[in-house]
Structure 1
């Protein structure tokens, strides 16, 4: 049985050189045992056999030092000979206990065969960290495994106990920052050679865990040893990771700029990847000026920005509502013929945000004209990148264009994803649909969802669309009551004070829509308070709490402000008291 287990668990490793897992040296044990059994001529029940059986069946709860004493009771000359068979038996039948057996039996001389120890460590590491991937090891259990293995490596020189690159790789994948640095230090101190491939893995692991200085030092040693080519794509990728993750550790000796200068010195070729990372890090450090200088440098040096480059600069321009920066990005996107759905959607969103910021003080016909102008520009931009057909299914009167695209341009248009469609539906609600037409427009949208339209079923999972409907409906006393019907649809069932629209669709099918968030409830509260209906607003607060949604600071401030505008000091103070009780006081 053990021989079958041995053969079944031989395999090539992914890391380091190709070698046999549970190698041929284990066969020596079986050959010796066959010869020994022939020489004994069938003698059974010896004291030694009982000792071996006791060891093989040790109590998992036994202290490791008690197990060591039991192991020492076996005559020294037999320990090395019988260790492989005992270890194979434990690996086969009770692998969870194999590490304890390994630790206990290496505390006493003579040590088992080095190659057998290495194979056993491989199997133990794989069993705990790879084979049980459906039930990942806990950090507490991994700490026990790590400490035991690291202690073995610390105690014995490589000629006595060795660990394979395969095991090191899997340990590193699960190690935290301190554990990864400890293992690297242990390997360095004991002088165990680590191949270049594994050293690169170490650089990657260390960088991702914020061990910036250790990662830079290791990469520098590889450069000095001339075992790494910084022009290789994989090495470039790891260097990019190191640069990107350098932000995680502000106390590191090596700053981001120093790391980049070192990489250039070692042979990294400047590329858009590194420029983008430098800009991204600058944005995260709130150093917008440096980031935009990097963008200017990219353009001046005729380096073609990537989709990701445009995305991060566009995101920053949106946050700052910088009209000039957005126009620069839009010109770059058009000039470089960028066809990326995320970049295009970000551009559309930026147009909407800028409009809302600029039109904040507009009223009446001027506000209406501005909104219609924005909407037409957004539809034109949208149609440049995306298919219009899903939106035409919803509202052809708003989304049909007179101009015809060439077959080539038509073929390059992308199918819009959920986020893009949600943005455009929200925009038409804000900018084009007349107040009195909002209920009819919502029913049209809901009809597509109920009918299972492949695009709008997904849009119904986006809360922003429903929030846009409710916010728009809440602007007028006549359409305000309809907002509670939308709330009923989102809740998916009739509730006290709120009724979903009548429909032939069963309740379970109707619950295709996203549930209301605290923002949704707050928008409703604001609408009713603005329209002078505080009792309805309070009912909504009570309902959201019953449904497990706690009011946030915006909810309470909406109530307080509403009561103050109604000159209801008692209501305002009561709302403030409730906010204080929830830890959200001003």
Structure 2
């Protein structure tokens, strides 16, 4: 980087997150943008921040179209608009897309807001709406009364225009129990008794609160639901009147909650088809009952439950369909359940409907949406969800301040997906600037993720972010040092690693952090063990690693593996933490590289197998990955007598159960042999000049559907080239190319062992010619080869060609 660039970079970095107010309470309509420009290798990374000091109150200026406040005509309100039509026709509006409320709280508006009072529904207008949409006008009065009570109690400052109030009226009118007074109170009492009894594992305390099925519900249960719920019951349910459905739904739902939860899913699926549906609150209660008491305790039956195309998650999506979400008095826990279980498409639909209809989402639901969009990898919709947070008045949810810890944790998760993109002003992070524009002030945890992302992008940018953090008083923690150590080790910068280790050594908590300790072990293994001096003392290298390990971790697991020599005297005493899997692996790998006696490796491996079978808490966890098994193969392959042990290692991996349970109750899923494991097994035999055995290994790989990678093909080519088997080498090169891999520098290094490389290229050319003949041939059905598939024809011709080529080359020799 040029000196001029540094002069630009560092002063502007010092502006990031800088205080811009001298007193608390000062506010801005639009926060000023501070730009940080980073120039290197002919590209520019600019980060734009809008960050407040502690106590600042940023106000979001949101344009509000005055037309949206005009009272619409009665004709517009009474036009036909059913819930099903609303699926296809988005709500028209003249205000900008980002304006979710006509009135915002003083916290979020610079201008003084008018009092936000929604229109009160007039009984006559509601009746006209019912008639226009084919609904029973007899229930219009009670619907209007209940909606007006809900509007007064629930809107909390939200202003719904007449179009949305009309839609709220239609959704409420299609609720099954809207005409029955006290139905929701009765349901809540029944549900509370049943769910409490189930949670405590007891009988229902107040049995009088939970009525029996009754004759009609009993008939439907025995003759329809338990016989053919998705067939004959669906037909009868669709033909039943509203009053008949009202009389039986609650009784059937409560009985199924108590006695047959699997059948409950089918029952809910059938009874939520069409516009006339059970009350949304009742549906949420039923599904939350299943999710809390069954899914979390025994998720297998719900995960595996399926009836035709219906699954547990699809039932939730259909029962809690966003197009049927009440616009007023919406149970928020139902939306959280929907966000947790819905697919990406369904979750996207939920966000779209909530924004279009101005549905009042609480901060907890918004964060749930953002979190699951992040898990889906959908950055745009996660940001779209978080952008709703500043629109919620602070007085409504004081625990969800825009810079609260819970929101920062969600931002940290989202920032792990951040990337650098090229824009009109140069290269810039995609997510970070948008979070800053929302008024989110990064804390140390968020900056740690930014630091990690910066180092992934460019070393100098990472160094500048680090300098900024140190200059603004952010104390580096274990995550910070883990990022710094990982980057320095990956770059091979030993001086930086030593510098960071010295800084860590002065902090006892950091020095004893298991993740930091494992990374320090890894740096020692990388710079000392793997590049061990031929004239150095291997035992001194191993004891140094053992001392580093003993400063943090308990020696007991290593002693049980018989790795610790009897003459070793620990330099550090006291209670130590159990070792991490990485720490154990690095000590074992160091031991194998510092001594070359086959008997020691065999002894340790035998003990390792025993401890895994016993479910040792530390040792059994090592089988989660293939690393330790690969290390044993590498240790065995140095001696011809260890080849049989190499095979046993792979056989042991294949023979492990699908799930292991350790002595402390942890569940471990063992790793099966990976392509690296198989490649190391091949290399073991090739390394010991046992090329013929590689064919058997390749047969085993084919049997287990192992796909070769470039390293596997290079290993195979290396073995054939060392054995001077030119036909097999040529065939391997052809097969490698057919699978999409090209000859690289590693391949050419292996081919230099051939005594007569010209003969190899002759063989390859002949195979190319044979393949060309096959592709151009027009074989008739009556020909001898016509009964074979095209691949079989090719394989047969290649075999014949190799045989002829081998005979010809043997005669020339």
Q: Taking structure 1 as the reference length, what is the TM-score of the superposition?
A: 0.70
CA contact (8 A) 2:553 2:579 kept: yes
CA contact (8 A) 1:121 1:163 kept: no
CA-atom RMSD, angstroms? 4.8
Pick aligned residue for 1:400 from 568, 577, 583: 568
CA contact (8 A) 2:489 2:523 kept: yes
Question: How far did 1:348 drift?
Answer: 0.9
1:560 lines up with 2:728 in the alignment: no
1:89 lines up with 2:248 in the alignment: no
Question: How far did 1:242 drift?
Answer: 3.9
Name the CA distance, whole Å, in 2 between partners of 1:465 and 1:399. 26
- Determine the structure 1 residue equivalent to 2:239: 70
Q: Taking structure 2 as the reference length, what is the TM-score of the superposition?
A: 0.52
1:529 lines up with 2:682 in the alignment: no
Name the CA distance, whole Å, in 2 between partners of 1:378 and 1:57. 67
- State how 1:188-267 maps to structure 2 within 5 Å: 188-209=355-376, 210=378, 211-222=381-392, 227=397, 228-246=400-418, 255-262=430-437, 265-266=439-440
- Determine the structure 2 residue equivalent to 1:167: 334
1:335 lines up with 2:506 in the alignment: yes
Name the CA distance, whole Å, in 1 between partners of 2:221 and 2:422. 56
Question: How far did 1:420 drift?
Answer: 1.6
- Determine the structure 2 residue equivalent to 1:482: 642
Name the CA distance, whole Å, in 1 between partners of 2:599 and 2:712. 29
CA contact (8 A) 2:369 2:385 kept: yes
Q: 1:568 to 1:381 in 2, by over 3 A?
A: same
1:443 lines up with 2:625 in the alignment: no
1:443 alignment partner, SS class: helix
1:385 alignment partner, SS class: coil
Question: How far did 1:294 drift?
Answer: 2.4
1:172 alignment partner, SS class: helix
Question: How far did 1:312 drift?
Answer: 3.0
2:351 alignment partner, SS class: helix
Alignment gaps of 5+ in structure 1? 15-25, 35-43, 360-365, 496-512
Question: How far did 1:341 drift?
Answer: 1.5
- State how 1:368-383 maps to structure 2 within 5 Å: 368-369=535-536, 374-383=541-550
Question: How far did 1:278 drift?
Answer: 0.9
Q: 1:276 to 1:7 in 2, by over 3 A?
A: same
2:689 alignment partner, SS class: coil
Q: 1:399 to 1:294 in 2, by over 3 A?
A: farther
Q: Which has the higher helix share?
A: 1
Pick aligned residue for 2:347 from 160, 180, 184: 180
Question: How far did 1:374 drift?
Answer: 4.2
Name the CA distance, whole Å, in 2 between partners of 1:305 and 1:257. 20
Pick aligned residue for 2:268 from 98, 101, 121: 98
Q: 1:229 to 1:370 in 2, by over 3 A?
A: same
Question: How far did 1:69 drift?
Answer: 6.6
CA contact (8 A) 2:370 2:383 kept: no
Deviations 1:456-478 (A, max 9, x none): 85387464344334334434xxx
CA contact (8 A) 2:421 2:430 kept: no
Q: 1:98 to 1:550 in 2, by over 3 A?
A: closer
1:423 lines up with 2:580 in the alignment: no
Deviations 1:94-151 (A, max 9, x none): 53223433444x44xxxx8xxx713332234336655552213779644465356436
CA contact (8 A) 1:473 1:482 kept: yes
Q: 1:388 to 1:302 in 2, by over 3 A?
A: farther
Deviations 1:6-64 (A, max 9, x none): 755226999xxxxxxxxxxx98x98xx99xxxxxxxxx99xxx9999999999644699
CA contact (8 A) 1:311 1:346 kept: yes
Question: How far did 1:560 drift?
Answer: 0.9
Q: 1:254 to 1:562 in 2, by over 3 A?
A: closer
Deviations 1:337-391 (A, max 9, x none): 21122221121112222346756xxxxxx42417556434423322322233443
Deviations 1:136-186 (A, max 9, x none): 3779644465356436527xx646xx6421212211111234433432343
Question: How far did 1:67 drift?
Answer: 6.2
Name the CA distance, whole Å, in 2 between partners of 1:236 and 1:388. 39
